[in-house]
Amino acid sequence: MSSTVSSAVSSAVSSTPAPLRPGARAIVTGGFGFVGSHLVGALAARGVAVTVLDVCPPPAALPDGVEHRIADLRDPQAVRAALAPADVVFHLAGNASGTLSVDRPRFDFETNAEGTFNLCEALLELPPRRFVYLSSAMVYGRPESTPMPEDHPLRPFLPYAASKLAGEHVAQSMFESFGLPAVIGRAFTIYGPGEDPRRAGGEVSQFVRWHLNGRPIPAVGDAERKTRDFAHVDDLVEGLLTIAERGTPGEVYNLGTGSETSLRELADVIGAVTGRPADLRCDDEVLDDSYRHVADIDKLRALGYRPRVSLEAGVAALAAALGEHPELPSMPAVFHRPTAA
Ligand SMILES: NC(=O)c1ccc[n+]([C@@H]2O[C@H](COP(=O)([O-])OP(=O)(O)OC[C@H]3O[C@@H](n4cnc5c(N)ncnc54)[C@H](O)[C@@H]3O)[C@@H](O)[C@H]2O)c1
């Protein structure tokens, strides 16, 4: 790395983060995905000038003030060519599916781990005042305590979790060695409108879609013992904005609600909200992820963050947004590649 790059990055670290208000510039990788589109909408509503970097073409309508550049993160030259100066870079692009990572682990690693390296390396030439990497609570592996703080052991058991953790290590090392001001958020189980039912594996969206179609809800695991921290995408976006503006470079923050809900309780909420009992049918032969997976969010709370969307309100809004007969989910939960018979 040239000394010019090195001093440019160091001066970025010593400066305070850019408040995300009118006049600020942000890049959102993966800005056309589920979480990214909500983040882009929130930034645009604040008057932030947003550039989306995504491998997919844009949706028909983009909010005012939003530009886009098509680039595949796996291609270092394309990433370099697509970057523009920005105060904050939110890195959300990647494979978000654990099932796909079992099916195509190399694709998953190249996208999440190498893609993050390519982006960070390119950013050393154009250092932002904050680099926010959206990781996943899957990096913890099976919980040893509940709720899980950020210093819980890291024992990924899916290729997806390993590639997300590799991305974290890339971001951390770019901070330590080159001063790239990286903050890391570990999201728990996110739900809300806009998830693609063919790719999304989150229980809330899947359960609501089966139920709205008048069908039994298929799930894997123990309905009582399998608990999750279900966070509405609006709360996740607020958490991302919080760590961008007030997080400390080099630090990791859990992004969740701190509330614990079992699959049975989720089905009960869906039944109460829709006025029709939900028929939950759990396959309790598959117990790989029947654990309590809940965030300790004290560190995020210390930055002033508070979750705002209750599960009841979030499920009601999702059911209303999906309408009477939404597309059924088709992403199974797969933890192991099937062995040959
Ligand atoms: N959805 C969740 O519950 C959840 C939970 C924890 C962490 N996350 C993380 O949040 C991020 C976003 O997840 P999501 O649910 O919005 O996923 P998504 O699949 O809806 O969106 C991902 C976006 O990244 C883009 N992308 C994928 N590969 C790319 C590449 N090689 N180059 C450029 N762009 C590429 C896609 O086109 C898409 O727009 C992911 O990094 C995921 O690991 C999501």
**Which residue spans within 84-166 are E strands per DSSP?**
88-91, 130-136
Amino acid letter for position 63: P
**Same-domain check for residues 58 and 75:** yes
Question: Which listed residue (140, 160, 291, 305) is catalytic?
Answer: 160
**Same-domain check for residues 131 and 203:** no
For the Cβ of 104 lying below 6 angstroms from any atom of ligand 1, the answer is: no
Tens digit of each residue's pLDDT, the chain (341 residues)? 444 555 555 554 545 676 899 999 999 999 999 999 999 999 999 999 999 999 999 998 899 889 999 999 999 999 999 999 999 999 999 999 999 999 999 999 999 999 999 999 999 999 999 999 999 999 999 999 999 999 999 999 999 999 999 999 999 999 999 999 999 999 999 999 999 999 888 999 999 999 999 999 999 999 999 999 999 999 999 999 999 999 999 999 999 999 999 999 999 999 999 999 999 999 988 899 999 999 999 999 999 999 999 999 999 999 999 999 999 998 888 888 876 55
pLDDT, residue 333, reads 85
What CATH number does the domain containing 271 carry? Answer: 3.90.25.10
**Same-domain check for residues 19 and 158:** yes
Structure tokens, 51: 């550039």
Which residue of 134, 203, 237, 240 sits with most ligand 1 atoms within 8 Å of its CB, as the best mutation to test the pocket? 134
Structure tokens, 56: 């997919």
What CATH number does the domain containing 150 carry? Answer: 3.40.50.720
Rounded to 5 degrees, what are φ and ψ at 215? -110, 155
pLDDT, residue 26, reads 98
**Same-domain check for residues 167 and 52:** yes
Q: Contact at 8 Å (CB) between 240 and 41? A: no
**Same-domain check for residues 83 and 212:** no
Asked whether residue 298 is domain-assigned, the answer is: no
**Same-domain check for residues 277 and 184:** no
Asked whether residue 328 is domain-assigned, the answer is: no
For the Cβ of 189 lying below 6 angstroms from any atom of ligand 1, the answer is: yes
Which ligand 1 atom is the nearest neighbour of the CA of 115?
31
For the beta sheet containing 49-54, the strands, ordered from the edge strand earlier in sequence to the opposite edge, are 66-70, 49-54, 25-29, 88-91, 130-136, 182-187, 252-255
**Same-domain check for residues 29 and 174:** yes
Asked whether residue 332 is domain-assigned, the answer is: no
Which residue is listed with tokens 């921290």? 229
Which residue is listed with tokens 């229980």? 203
**Same-domain check for residues 214 and 68:** no
Q: What angle do CA 174, 178, 182 make, to 5 degrees?
A: 45
Distance 94 CA to ligand 1 centre (A): 4
For the Cβ of 35 lying below 6 angstroms from any atom of ligand 1, the answer is: yes
Q: Contact at 8 Å (CB) between 334 and 259? A: no
Asked whether residue 335 is domain-assigned, the answer is: no
For the Cβ of 69 lying below 6 angstroms from any atom of ligand 1, the answer is: no
Q: What angle do CA 146, 150, 154 make, to 5 degrees?
A: 85
Distance 22 CA to ligand 1 centre (A): 26
For the Cβ of 94 lying below 6 angstroms from any atom of ligand 1, the answer is: yes
Asked whether residue 71 is domain-assigned, the answer is: yes
Which residue is listed with tokens 């790239």? 180
Range of the domain at 173: 3-190+231-255
For the Cβ of 167 lying below 6 angstroms from any atom of ligand 1, the answer is: no
Asked whether residue 330 is domain-assigned, the answer is: no
Asked whether residue 152 is domain-assigned, the answer is: yes
**Same-domain check for residues 148 and 79:** yes
Which ligand 1 atom is the nearest neighbour of the CA of 164?
43
| HSE-CB of 325 using CA atoms within 13 angstroms | 0
Question: For the chain, what is the domain count?
Answer: 2
User: DSSP for 286-314?
Assistant: --TT-SEE-B--HHHHTTT------HHHH
Structure tokens, 200: 């999304």
Asked whether residue 303 is domain-assigned, the answer is: no
Distance 215 CA to ligand 1 centre (A): 29
pLDDT, residue 14, reads 46
Q: Contact at 8 Å (CB) between 177 and 291? A: no
For the Cβ of 134 lying below 6 angstroms from any atom of ligand 1, the answer is: yes
**Same-domain check for residues 286 and 141:** no
**Same-domain check for residues 145 and 204:** no
**Same-domain check for residues 251 and 263:** no
Burial of 128-139, coded b for 16+ CB within 10 Å and e otherwise, reads bbbbbbbbbbbb
Which residue of 90, 92, 140 sits with most ligand 1 atoms within 8 Å of its CB, as the best mutation to test the pocket? 92
For the Cβ of 92 lying below 6 angstroms from any atom of ligand 1, the answer is: yes
Q: Which of 60, 53, 23 is nearest to 39 (CA)?
A: 53
Active site residue 191: no
**Cα 118 from Cα 197, distance rounded (Å):** 29
For the Cβ of 56 lying below 6 angstroms from any atom of ligand 1, the answer is: yes
**Cα 311 from Cα 208, distance rounded (Å):** 12
**Cα 141 from Cα 132, distance rounded (Å):** 22
Distance 172 CA to ligand 1 centre (A): 20
Distance 30 CA to ligand 1 centre (A): 6
Rounded to 5 degrees, what are φ and ψ at 29? -80, 140
Residues 6+ apart with CB under 8 A from 112: 94, 95, 160, 163, 164, 166, 167
